[in-house]
Structure 1
Amino acid sequence: MDYARELAPFALMRPDGIFTYDSAGSPVSPADSHSPGADSHSPGAGRLPLVLIHGLGDEADTWRNIFPDLARSRRVVALDLPGFGRTPCTGPSTMEKHVAAIRAVLESTSPAILAGNSMGAAAGQLTALRHPDLVRGLAFLDGGLPSGSAMSGKLLLTLLPGVGERAYRAWRKKPGQAYGSLTPYYADLASMAETDRAFLARRVVERIMSDSQCRAYCSSFRSFLFMAAGARGALLRDFSRTTLPLLLIWGEQDKILPPDTRRLLLEARPDCIDLLIPGAGHLPHQENPEAVIDALSSFIEKIDSGAPGL
């Protein structure tokens, strides 16, 4: 899998096998990329780092439109979760493995602020609950633990052995139509820049043709749904007791997560900062990167400065 053009200078394969884009790291190889070293003169010196966590079936390249701007003022790290993108995974890809990978990254950046999209927000949420000493703030982009209404019968069918895998591999017979499967994730996929649409069209075919991506997608999805069904109430209760600064960024036209997922988060943490973005769907950082950059920058700067209420 190649690198998104905007992120290639930051590519870093860590010794533990976790692939990242790291604005203060060393490149994968001198021939592939070059990135600034982390020292006292780097833009992030003295500021909290930001760790970006992608969602299900995605990879770190999802942040290509916001990473470079955010990295101008602080260290930013975007990782491929185990089994996705360029990070390998032995055996099933699970929420436990995702939390372990995030923790491993945090041990080289901590304390840090976590920002996650979709399932990545839930993984960040779990990481913060289990390792509160490593996290200073959370930002959820259309994500977090799903509500009960998200657990539809159609989704629950994917828990059956082989069902999800067959549905995933069925796209291989019609790769030209795979791009259309992205439509529900956006408010208006057709209105996105041609460069974005070309990138997405190429990347979705790479995913459906990959056996490792199929395994990671299906096993992560099952792990996510089992966790949500079995422990959602307890996790939300624990989450409501946290005092970590929280930012919710939500696409107003999200067709993937039902509105009550956001409502449950607002009820658990009424003190959070809440931003609803018009004209954006499940991936607001791709459809309206400027709004997301502004919201994240303002949120993080308030945490950096120790603003009251944060």
Structure 2
Amino acid sequence: MSATVSFEVPTPHGPRDVTVSYARVGRGEPLVLLHGIGHHRQAWDPLVEILAVERDVIAVDLPGFGASPGLPDGLAYDLPTTNAVLGALFAALELDHPHVAGNSLGGLLALELGRERLVRSVTALSPAGFWSPAERRYAFGVLIAMRRASRRLPLPLVERLARTAAGRTALTSTIYARPARRSPQAVVAETLALGRATGFDAALRAGTTVRFTDDIPGVPVTVAWGTRDLVLVRRQGIRAKRIIPRARLVRLPGCGHCPMNDDPALVARVILDGSR
């Protein structure tokens, strides 16, 4: 069920109030799910019911995305701030070192939480931060183009396109290898979410200088990459393995940048295996 929680985040200028929207279902050890830039928590819908059989699943709308308001004025969308926000969220929800899985930006955030020892395991699906400068510029160019298209397309046109497999392919083939599998309602909702994401520009700017360069000893880490990822190319997974040598590197055959839709059963198995 959808809910919101408000909590204080410590900052150099004193505590600030942040509100986060989330959905929680299932029983077992807690598992927090973090979406990518411009997406929303519903990105995880195809596999939440599978995960909920074994986990207390908390799917989060990051601040400035989905149903979560943006960060208060004066708070940056950088990694230290987001770490503080997520740490405070865990405390507000009484989550003691949950498992965490993230995709793209969410994968980077999951790794950062692992580096800070705030979680008990990390599964990162096509995480940001392992790019070369050229690969980052390419990825950002793709994301900016998707954002502009989502803001320019009239809603009736988006709804009409989403009714057909060809239209869903036109709207979402950049992030899904199998876009026809996405429901029309989901495609419309995520197109709107991308266009309306108040945190998008600030989060993208904050990512300009980001590279993940630290090992994460003592925390089980899984890094998984779709073989058909068109946003963050799969060779970045090899770099991730070199930086985090004890990480389990998993290939996701036939999956795109957001593999949760392309093969929910496989991705759920990867997450559950990584959190056991």
Q: Normalization by structure 1: what TM-score? A: 0.72
Task: Report whether the alignment pairs 1:182 with 2:182.
Answer: no
Task: Report whether the alignment pairs 1:202 with 2:202.
Answer: no
CA distance in 2, matches of 1:154, 1:278: 21
CA distance in 2, matches of 1:126, 1:255: 24
Q: Which of 163, 166, 169 does residue 151 from structure 2 map onto?
A: 169
Deviation at 1:249, TM superposition (A): 1.7
Counterpart AA for 1:273: R
Q: What SS does structure 2 have at the residue aligned with 1:70?
A: helix
Aligned alpha-carbon RMSD (Å): 2.9
Task: Report whether the alignment pairs 1:117 with 2:107.
Answer: no
Percent same amino acid at aligned positions? Answer: 21
Deviation at 1:186, TM superposition (A): 1.4
CA, structure 1 residues 71+258, in 2 after alignment: closer, same or farther (shift >3 Å)?
same
CA, structure 1 residues 208+61, in 2 after alignment: closer, same or farther (shift >3 Å)?
closer
CA distance in 2, matches of 1:140, 1:154: 17
2:247 maps to which residue?
272
Consecutive aligned runs of 4 or more in structure 1 exceeding 4 Å deviation = 156-159, 163-168, 172-175
The structure richer in strand per residue is 2
Check whether the contact 2:23–2:60 (CA below 8 A) recurs between aligned residues: yes
List aligned pairs for 1:223-234, cutoff 5 A: 223-226=206-209, 228=210, 232=211
Give structure 1 stretches of 5+ with no counterpart.
1-9, 25-42, 302-310
Q: Which of 132, 135, 155 does residue 150 from structure 1 map onto?
A: 135
Q: What SS does structure 2 have at the residue aligned with 1:51?
A: strand
| Matched residues, number | 251
CA, structure 1 residues 67+154, in 2 after alignment: closer, same or farther (shift >3 Å)?
closer
CA, structure 1 residues 175+242, in 2 after alignment: closer, same or farther (shift >3 Å)?
farther
CA distance in 2, matches of 1:126, 1:257: 18
Deviation at 1:13, TM superposition (A): 1.1
Q: Which has the higher contact order (CA 8 A, sep 6+)?
A: 2
CA, structure 1 residues 80+141, in 2 after alignment: closer, same or farther (shift >3 Å)?
same
Check whether the contact 1:252–1:276 (CA below 8 A) recurs between aligned residues: yes
Q: Normalization by structure 2: what TM-score? A: 0.80
CA distance in 2, matches of 1:87, 1:104: 15
Check whether the contact 2:33–2:58 (CA below 8 A) recurs between aligned residues: yes
Check whether the contact 1:53–1:117 (CA below 8 A) recurs between aligned residues: yes
Give structure 2 stretches of 5+ with no counterpart.
8-18, 162-166
Deviates more, 1:112-121 or 1:93-102: 93-102
Deviations 1:83-138 (Å, cap 9, x if unpaired)?
A: 10111013476134432332122222121111100011111222232x31x21111
Counterpart AA for 2:100: L
Check whether the contact 2:23–2:59 (CA below 8 A) recurs between aligned residues: yes
1:262 maps to which residue?
237
Check whether the contact 2:124–2:224 (CA below 8 A) recurs between aligned residues: yes
Q: Which of 6, 9, 14 does residue 15 from structure 1 map onto?
A: 6
List aligned pairs for 1:88-107, cutoff 5 A: 88-89=69-70, 90-91=72-73, 94-96=77-79, 97-107=81-91
1:249 maps to which residue?
224
